[in-house]
Amino acid sequence: MAGSVKMKGKTVEEAITMALQVLGKTREEVDVKVLSEAEGGVLGVFGGKEAEVEVSPKTALGEQAKAVVQDILDKMGFLTLVSIKSEEGDTINLDIKGEDMGRIIGRAGSSIDSLQYLATLILSKKHATRVRVLVDAEGYREKRQIMVTQDADAIAKEVERSGQEKPMPPMSAADRRIIHMYIQEKFPNLSSFSRGEGQGRQLVIAPKGSEPKA
């Protein structure tokens, strides 16, 4: 591992301490891998074995997310370059550039949504806390947001005129979230809710107060 130090000592803690001195880091700034525990020799002298550790500077969360997505794409045979757009707290925004973007994005964003979900799952499991990885490619997210909100805008105006709820075609959870937020912001007299199961799940736009009760 780049930047890592292997060190031996009479105990694991002694080996870690010496490695920290070499790296110039504190315990909180590194990851420690114990390669072997110390073993006592015969009569405490002969045949003993020192403990050995590998100590590495912690990688920033954004770099970890970037590496995870790049590794997945590399193993899938895509020629791409993943970069960090922004990093704020536990939310990482990544961007993909390269060849075959159509396949990486997938129909209605299905492939890139799956990639985003997988990266989020891997990082969250590794850190035992919620990490949100957002993945974009060639500005797809912004283009998709414009498209779905245009459709939602037209249906919302129709609901305002008729006073009757109207469902939108089945769509992904990501698209439904975009529309939920858009309706809340632009149409305070309307509400939106999801109906149906699985791939047939739809978003319904309705006059406020007419939505199903929880």
**Domain 142-207 classification at class level:** alpha beta
Average pLDDT, the chain: 90
Residue 37 contacts residue 9 (beta carbons within 8 Å): no
How far apart (Å, rounded) are the C-alpha atoms in residues 157 and 38? 73
What is the percent of the chain where pLDDT is above 90? 71
How far apart (Å, rounded) are the C-alpha atoms in residues 97 and 70? 11
CATH of 61-138, picked from 3.40.50.2020, 3.40.630.30, 3.30.300.20, 3.40.30.10, is 3.30.300.20
pLDDT of residue 68: 96
Top-ranked range on mean pLDDT: pick from 31-45, 136-150, 199-213: 136-150
Once rounded to an integer, what is the mean pLDDT over residues 7-35? 91
CA dihedral 204, 206, 208, 213 (to 10 degrees): -50
Is pLDDT above 60 for 170?
Answer: yes
From 47-61, 133-147, 163-177, the region with the lowest mean pLDDT: 47-61
Residues with Cβ within 8 Å of 138's Cβ and at least 6 positions away in sequence, in order, are 96, 97, 101, 105
pLDDT of residue 42: 53
Is pLDDT above 90 for 171?
Answer: no
pLDDT of residue 2: 56
Once rounded to an integer, what is the mean pLDDT over residues 184-212? 90
How far apart (Å, rounded) are the C-alpha atoms in residues 93 and 65? 9
Domain ranges of the chain: 5-57, 61-138, 142-207
Confidence (pTM): 0.68
